[in-house]
Amino acid sequence: MTILSNSLTVADGGLGIAQQGNKPVAVVGCSSAGTAATPTAVDTIDGLVATFGYGPMCEDAAAILSLAGGPVYCVRAATATAGALGGMCQRGGGSGSAGTLAAAGGNTSTAVPALTGTPDAPYAVKIVVTTAGSNLAASPVVKVSLDGGLTYLATGSIATSASAQAIGTTGLSLAWTDGTFVLNESWSAVGANCPTDADATGTSVPVFSGTPLDAFDIRVDVTTAGSSLSALTATVKVSLDGGRSYGPNVQIPASGVYAIPNTGVTVTFGSGTLVVGDSFRIKTSAPFWDTTSLAAALASLTSVVGRYEFAHVAGPVDRTSAGTVKTWASGRHTAGEYVFAQLGCRDQITGESITTWSASIQGTDPGFSGYDGEKYLDVCASHGYVASYLRAGVYFRRNLAVLRSARLASIPARQHPGRVKSGAIQGLMPDTDALAGVIHDLATYTSLDNARFSGAQQVKGRPRGEWYFTSRTMSASTSDFGEVQRIRVMCLAATAALTALAEYVGDDVETKTDGTGQIAEAAAQAIDGEVTAKLKLAVVRAPNDHATRVTARTVRTNNLLSTGTLQCAISVVPRGSVNAVSTTISYTLTASA
């Protein structure tokens, strides 16, 4: 072979176990503006909004910019599924009600569903037939949503029966009057007919419309009464995070129309009275990429090769989309660009228990059972209330992957992301009772850690309300890359090694005269010394003291004359990370100074 080449393979298994990030982060996801699949360096929040508008990618990029500094390489992934509105539900000073289900227009099913019970909160219920049946005896199957169709409980988890079947812990039950079940037909109890623990008492019913720019939990609370819209006395305040924060009071115009700023959502109040204390709630979904647009966005990062350390994907991944990211990262390694990706899995859907959610993401496809992210993927399971750096005072329920990416970008590559001396996780909603900021504590749900998800936990001995990241990655349990700092350091070492060895491509070296064609010892020692010295500067010596030791050794037994290939083995001894401290304390009759 005469084509000049230089390659390096990152090997795993060498450990035999069952400095500030040098480059920015590349953030990939959906946004309301910008050119798709075009990496753009962003240094400021104003520049981010001016170029990309709003959306999941913008929220995550803003957090990383604010917590870790810039620049950030932003890449818009083309939207495959637009953001959607769920069903509206309401609450006020009236009495509670189980709500009334109405058939969708065009329904031909003769079965009749009914909700009973005392709901513990307002819900927007939607029921869809997924398996048809001529009657209840034919075992038809339905799926149930508690947010108006944005998300659904597991199909078939609520049995179709003439006797009331509990819908989780909502206080609601579902029963059927026998009849036919036609595939895909549906029934809804939303708006004024939704189940609620206390009905709204005003007669003005709002209608929400538009295409949401992100996942919002919108609440519109009446703060000043109005006998009619034309009276121009009614005011409301709006929350985007389920009531954790509110904007200023807004007067409702005579038209009843109010466009909620920078959300893509408009609320239109109908004629009638508005009563103080009445509240109207609707959840929305975020715009979402598919694997094709995600792959295209990631592929576009080749135009900024070497300028970013890792990619952060805004939006939840499952086994399939994680595979898309893994394929991309593996391809970059083959091309000599050593990168990895920070991902997050889905949250619980409305009405889903933590136990059910945890079992789902740990299960088979679309869960991650048996999945090996190798040296390419870190998948965060923990969710919590994350500060928005685009909307002051707002705390969205989000996967903590964004705060993990911000932490990685602000600490040395060698450092454990949960190092207590570096401080607790920043960007969470203040958590004075140690219960509100993080929903999925991996110290409690240890099966998630065993399933190789990363996440957040509290640490004994630290104040309640402080949270710290685990170091776990989605690598196999026997991998050398089971901790994210191991991936980061190896990427740095591999990059430095490939650069150092590139200088020998096309070079001529002295060989032995004994007929073996092997490299001469003096030449081998010279290469060993030069490459080792450069690697030490990259990953051993301060300020780049990311590894304990590194050694390069040229293979002496290869017939260089016949193969034309210089072979080199590089060994990296990582720094140790303390994941646990075990201590014994006791009284004693004697003591030493």
Using DSSP bridges, classify how beta strands 340-344 and 250-251 pair: parallel, antiparallel or unpaired.
unpaired
Helix, strand and coil in the chain, % to nearest 5:
20, 25, 55
Residue 32: its pLDDT value, please?
Answer: 98
How far apart, in whole angstroms, are the C-alpha atoms of residue 66 and residue 311?
17
Cis peptide leading into 71, omega within 30 of 0? yes
Tokens read off for 163: 């006797």
Name residue, tokens 């309300």.
Answer: 465
Cα-based angle 21, 25, 30 (whole degrees, multiple of 5): 165
Residue 473: its pLDDT value, please?
Answer: 97
Strands, E assignment, 153-304: 165-166, 172-177, 186-189, 206-210, 217-224, 235-239, 250-251, 257-260, 265-269, 279-283
How far apart, in whole angstroms, are the C-alpha atoms of residue 458 and residue 451?
19
The gap from C-alpha 161 to its chain's centroid, in whole angstroms, comes to 37
Tokens read off for 53: 């508008």
Helix (H) or strand (E) holding 65: helix 56-68
Name residue, tokens 């988890």.
Answer: 157
Query: Angle, to 10 degrees, between the axis of helix 56-68 and the axis of helix 45-52?
Result: 160
Residue 192, SS3 per DSSP = helix
Name residue, tokens 């929305």.
Answer: 284
- The b-or-e profile of 326-336 (16+ CB within 10 A means b, else e) is bebbeebbeeb
Residue 1: its pLDDT value, please?
Answer: 47
Tokens read off for 224: 């000043």
Name residue, tokens 């898309």.
Answer: 324
Whether 57 and 74 have beta carbons less than 8 Å apart is answered as yes
Residue 2: its pLDDT value, please?
Answer: 52
How far apart, in whole angstroms, are the C-alpha atoms of residue 265 and residue 242?
15
How far apart, in whole angstroms, are the C-alpha atoms of residue 440 and residue 447?
11
In order along its 593 residues, the chain shows pLDDT tens digits of 455 556 777 776 666 544 334 589 999 999 999 999 999 999 999 999 999 999 999 999 999 999 999 899 999 999 999 999 999 999 999 999 999 999 999 999 999 999 999 999 999 999 999 999 999 999 999 999 999 999 999 999 999 999 999 999 999 999 999 999 999 999 999 999 999 999 999 999 999 999 999 999 999 999 999 999 999 999 999 999 999 999 999 999 999 999 999 999 999 999 999 999 999 999 999 999 999 999 999 999 999 999 999 999 999 999 999 999 999 999 999 999 999 999 999 999 999 999 999 999 999 999 999 999 999 999 999 999 999 999 999 999 999 999 999 999 999 999 999 999 999 999 999 876 655 689 999 999 999 999 999 999 999 999 888 999 999 999 999 999 999 999 999 999 999 999 999 999 999 999 999 999 999 999 999 999 999 999 999 999 989 999 999 999 999 999 999 999 999 999 999 998 888 888 888 888 886 65
Query: Tell me, what DSSP letter sits at residue 392?
Result: T
Enumerate residues 6+ apart whose C-beta is below 8 A from 268: 206, 207, 208, 209, 255, 256, 257, 258
Helix (H) or strand (E) holding 297: helix 291-299
Query: Angle, to 10 degrees, between the axis of helix 401-410 and the axis of helix 56-68?
Result: 30
| Phi, psi for 144 (deg, rounded to 5) | -125, 130
Whether 140 and 183 have beta carbons less than 8 Å apart is answered as no
Length of the chain: 593
How far apart, in whole angstroms, are the C-alpha atoms of residue 568 and residue 578?
32
Enumerate residues 6+ apart whose C-beta is below 8 A from 257: 266, 267, 268, 269
Residue 389's region, left for phi above 0, alpha for psi from -120 to 50, else beta, is alpha
Residue 6: its pLDDT value, please?
Answer: 65
The gap from C-alpha 348 to its chain's centroid, in whole angstroms, comes to 12
Residue 584: its pLDDT value, please?
Answer: 83
Q: Which of 357, 383, 380 is nearest to 436 (CA)?
A: 383
Global confidence as pTM? 0.93
Q: Where are the alpha helices (DSSP H) in 438-520?
A: 446-450, 484-502
Q: Which of 358, 382, 346, 384 is nearest to 454 (CA)?
A: 382
Q: In what order do the strands lie in the sheet with 206-210?
A: 206-210, 265-269, 257-260
